[in-house]
Structure 1
Amino acid sequence: MAVDQIGSSARAVRKADRIGTPRGTTMRKVRRTAALLLVAALVGTCGATFPDHGGPGWASPGLVGGGGWPFAGVPVSAEAAKGASYIPGSSVLRLGDGRVRLVPFGTDTVITVEASDPRVEDAVLADTVWLTGGAVPDGGKATPAASREVYREMAERALLDLRLLTRPNGASQASWYGAWRYSWPRDSAFTAAAFVMTGHLPEARRILRFLAGVQDGNGQWAARYHADGTAVTDGREPQLDSLGWVLWASWLFRAQAPEAAGDLPELWPMVVRAADHLTGSLDAEGLPPPSSDYWERKPDTEEDPRRPTLGVVGPVLAGLRSAASLALGVGQREKASEWGRAAQRVAAAVEQQFTPYGYPRSPVRGGLMDTSVTFVAPPFAPSDPGVDEAVANAFRRTSLPNGGVLPGEKWSGNPDVAWTPEMALFALTAATSGRAAEAVSHLDWLAAHRTSLGVLSEKVDEHGEPASVAPLGWTASVVLLALSALERPLPIPGAAQEPRVS
């Protein structure tokens, strides 16, 4: 994809210096090229296909916080990160010279103080108390003892980063920079799920309340939102998979924490609107309409533009199953039956349209494989041997020499750069399916390719170095879910809770 060429701009300037080309002329060309490529990037994947290498002014290996409301996160410059490390259990940074960087309580401005400053102890204590208010998963007995300490540190960092990315009103941002500094309902649903499974329920509740507040009356969400809840108007159509993911996260919240869910009166009306919309969207074959999915590209670019991708169908199926189970749990049997029948129609469509071809992205013979096959596997759907085989096939066909995976076959972006959300999804499926060794292998790769501060970035380049923005909320949340699933299997919508309907 053209956006992956932006990182070459700095190389062009260095080359100009070597051969004597006037730097001003080169810089003007670079700026024009970068601007055009940046605009093209808006059609990217995971809501954030921007340069694989950040330039001065935005590259950061992590965020600094301070434990105090509103949990403001300020990026750490690459220079400041040299020799620096987080004080354990916190988002407070000890710099290479021994001083400490933090964001004081009630502000969003970073300061640097001596280690003896009492604000350091207060900030670390506040972060640690928050962490211990829930669980920090390390994979448990399914994980080799040598890995648990690493996993716990990775999970600790992921939780603290997710808190820094979540605004007081519940807007959970994908990351801190530029086009990532928005709230995608899809990513937000996974963050809420991670907070649910780690027992950080106030944060999960705030995110779901935010989503309920910005939902359209027809049950849909905009593709993404500003932190104040206003929709981003950049021409992107609503993305149907987000409804399924929010329904799944809502069911998980209610199933794991019914009392906390009872304190969120907005939850049931939000579920009704989203599930009714999905039910009403199904065609005669039981499929939802074509829509952009987590790749965030227009349906007419797919192998079969007439039908939705598995990246849409999988979340819709999980969402309808989740809604039916949630409805049954709150005594709404009529809605449970209605949404359960809709889920059965989608499941039958998957069996007819995707299963014969091995669950490719588009339902065509010889269709390209991508990570969305994990959306019809645990923890989003009951276990199925054919799906397990397809998951393994997709992983093989998207694997890279650096050990990571591409978002899909014949990826239009940089073919050498791995994406961490996709690797995390493979880990989550393996962990929930009882394939602990496979999950550990994927998680080991993620742990080994974090930034110098231990933060999960969006990408890993061909040299095995973290690339793009860090932290990425989606990766952090899925890693937490995978580690939780190694400790105890995540519940699966429709596996036991769903009523039998005809």
Structure 2
Amino acid sequence: MTSPGARRVRRTIAFSLVMMLAATCGSTLPDQTRPEWASPGLIGGGGWPFAHRPMDATEAAGAAYLPDSSVVRLADGRVRLIQFGGQQPITVPADDPRVATAVRDDRGWLAAGRIPGGDTVYRDMAVRALLDLRLLTRPNGATTASWYRQWRYVWPRDAAFAAVAFLVSGHPAEARRVLRFLARTQTEPGLWAARYKLDGTPVTDGRRTQLDSLGWVLWAGWFLDVYAPAGEAVLPELWTMVRRAADHLESSLDVEGLPPPSSDYFERDPGKEQDPRRPTLGVVGPVLMGLRAAADLADRSGRQAEGRRWRQAAMRVSDAIARTFTPYGYPRSPVPGGLMDTSVTFLAPPFAPADPGVESAVLEAAERLRLPNGGVLPGERWSGNPDVAWTPEMALFALNAAASGRVEDTLTRLDWLDEHRTDLGALPEKVDRRGRPAAVAPLGWTASLVLLTLASLEDRLPVPPA
């Protein structure tokens, strides 16, 4: 593990953004193969399409990615890759010309954009996150949560974050592909299914619509307009998507100014919440942000009537939050003694303007959710394993800290994420009580959040105006 002195050096470098140290390579954790562990990372293919296959965990000992690539050098010196146009991995000598071709393609793609965090000690984590997002994104824009079983689907929420991560890393074409996929799968009323197959077919497993996804997709569409190069603004089909989603959110508000109860990123039946009659903060926060983003996007594109209407809807939601959530300290459900969770960050930078009361609630939630292994739980009284930390939630707190100017907090959380990657350097979904990666790796949502955090350390991300 990294010593306290070394961590202080890392923080100093990242804070000053001095590009002086060499990048670290992979995780410092020992190889711990467990029944639930599927793979420490993906082997990728240079070129189109971006095929990927998991690296067998038993072969990962002593293996490592060739720098800035998804090509793996095995412990015996041979190289595992997927050649251009192929689907299956092959193992070849290190001097095989196909190795250089695959590595050159990955490096060329990275060079075409930018690596958030530059050449700080977080560079290796950023490169791995970027290349993993590339591998998880299909030519039709379907970007999956991961590669394995129930993770091999597209969640609109996760896809929105991937699109924004592509934008901050200088890959607008990939962001557009993701957003076009979402535009194609949106229904006429402006909704999305909870998740989709790679061909855009909804997964019919009984999961209800997760209303927070509308807010996240609206945010990603707004981000494209704000962040993309001049002359490459939102395309017509994306405006239709934005209009449908924003109109649906506006029409869904009740007399109190709140959207209806819905599942959120917890993917839990809203009837099991502390207040089943009202939506959780995990729904209300993204809805507010989405309406603000849509209103600003409308104004920027000369559609003032829609902008005024959606801004008024956003004000109704904001007032409702002030009446129902603020008095109790922004818990997940607006009740006395309500349980805290990570969704309080959705009311704070970079998703909303800074507010001292919300910032205090974020810090309180982070403390309540902290685990002995240094990570965090998704929420209080978590129904899952109470000893296992979740990396997306840790990364959400890191992103908020970066966007709020709390640099030391940001770097502490980035250090933890960096130190708990797999043997091959992928960001896993979870970390067990002994500090070992668990569940699936890579996880696209965590990869996106880490890239956004590093980008925010360099230059504060734009915030949808209130």
Equivalent residue number for residue 55 of structure 1 = 35
Q: Which residue of 1 aligns with 2:370?
A: 399
Letter in 2 for 1:420: T
SS at match of 1:79: helix
Summarize the alignment of residues 93-104 of structure 1 with structure 2, pairs less than 5 Å apart.
93-104=72-83
Deviations 1:447-480 (A, max 9, x none): 0000001110000000000000000000000000
Work out whether residues 102 and 112 of structure 1, in 8 Å CA contact, stay in contact via their aligned partners in 2: yes
The alpha-carbon deviation at position 177 of structure 1 amounts to 0.2
Distance 2:449 2:62 in 1: 28
Q: Indicate if the aligned counterparts of 1:261 and 1:267 stay in contact, CA closer than 8 A.
A: no
TM-score between both structures, scaled by the size of structure 1: 0.85
Residue 265 (structure 1) shift = 2.4
Contact 1:241-1:312 at 8 Å conserved across structures: yes
Counterpart of 2:433 in structure 1 is 462
1:73 Cα deviation from its structure 2 partner: 1.3
Q: What is residue 12 of structure 2 aligned with on the other side?
A: none
Counterpart of 1:390? 361
Do 2:225 and 2:234's aligned partners in 1 also have CA atoms closer than 8 Å?
no
Flag structure 2 segments of 5+ consecutive residues without an equivalent: 1-31
The equivalent position to 1:237 in structure 2, one of 208, 212, 216, is 208
Counterparts of 1:406-445 in structure 2 under 5 Å? 406-445=377-416
Q: What is the Cα deviation at residue 107 of structure 1?
A: 1.7
| Aligned residue number for residue 304 of structure 2 | 333
Mapped contact 1:320–1:340 kept (Cα < 8 A): yes
Q: Is the 8 A contact 1:427 1:482 kept in 2?
A: yes
CA distance in 2, matches of 1:462, 1:230: 37
CA distance in 2, matches of 1:155, 1:262: 26
The equivalent of 1:117 in structure 2 is 96
1:209 touches 1:264 (CA, 8 Å); kept in 2? no
CA distance in structure 1 between the aligned counterparts of 2:34 and 2:257, rounded to whole angstroms: 43
The answer on 1:314 being equivalent to 2:285 is yes
Note if contact 1:54-1:468 (Cα within 8 Å) is conserved in structure 2: no
For residue 413 of structure 2, give the secondary structure of its aligned residue in structure 1: helix
Aligned length: 435
1:67 aligns with 2:38: no
Task: Tell me which amino acid in the other structure corresponds to 2:133.
Answer: L
Cα deviation 1:87-124 (Å, max 9, x = unaligned): 11100001110000011111211111110110100100
Q: Deviations over 1:178-231 (max 9, x none)?
A: 000000000000000100111111110000000000000000000000000000
Say whether the 8 Å CA contact 2:224–2:233 is kept in structure 1.
no
Alpha-carbon shift at residue 262 of structure 1 (Å): 3.6
- Runs of 4 or more off by more than 2 Å in structure 1? 52-56, 258-265
One-letter amino acid of the counterpart of residue 101, structure 2: D
Q: Distance in 1 between matches of 2:33 and 2:341?
A: 24
Q: Which has the higher contact order (CA 8 A, sep 6+)?
A: 2
Q: Cα deviations across residues 469-493 of structure 1 (Å, max 9, x unaligned)?
A: 0000000000000000000000000
- Ranges in structure 1 where 5+ consecutive residues have no aligned partner: 1-51, 141-147, 496-502
Please list, as runs of the form range in 1=range in 2, the aligned pairs for 1:348-387 lying within 5 A after superposition.
348-387=319-358
The 3 A distance-change label for structure 1 pair 54 and 311 is farther
> Which residue matches 2:178?
207
Partner residue in 2 for 1:128: 107
Q: Write out per-residue CA displacement over residues 244-267 of structure 1, whole angstroms, 9 at most, x where no aligned residue.
A: 000001100111115464473211
Q: Following the alignment from structure 2 to structure 1, what is the Cα–Cα distance between the partners of residues 464 and 300?
A: 12
Deviations 1:278-306 (A, max 9, x none): 00000011100000000001100000000
TM superposition score normalised by structure 2: 0.92
Q: Which residue of 1 aligns with 2:27?
A: none
- Report the counterpart of residue 5 of structure 1 in structure 2: none
Provide the residue aligned with 2:248 in structure 1. 277
**Which residue number in structure 2 is paired with residue 45 of structure 1?**
none
- 1:164 and 1:267 map into 2 onto residues whose CA distance is 24
Q: Deviations over 1:3-56 (max 9, x none)?
A: xxxxxxxxxxxxxxxxxxxxxxxxxxxxxxxxxxxxxxxxxxxxxxxxx98637
Identity across the alignment (%): 66
Residue pair 2:154, 2:195 contacting (<8 A) in 1 also? yes
In the aligned structure 2, how far is the partner of 1:75 from the partner of 1:478? 22
**Which whole-Å deviations, capped at 9, do the CAs of 1:329-355 have from their partners, x for residues lacking one?**
100000000000000000111111111
User: 1:94 is matched by which residue type in structure 2?
Assistant: R
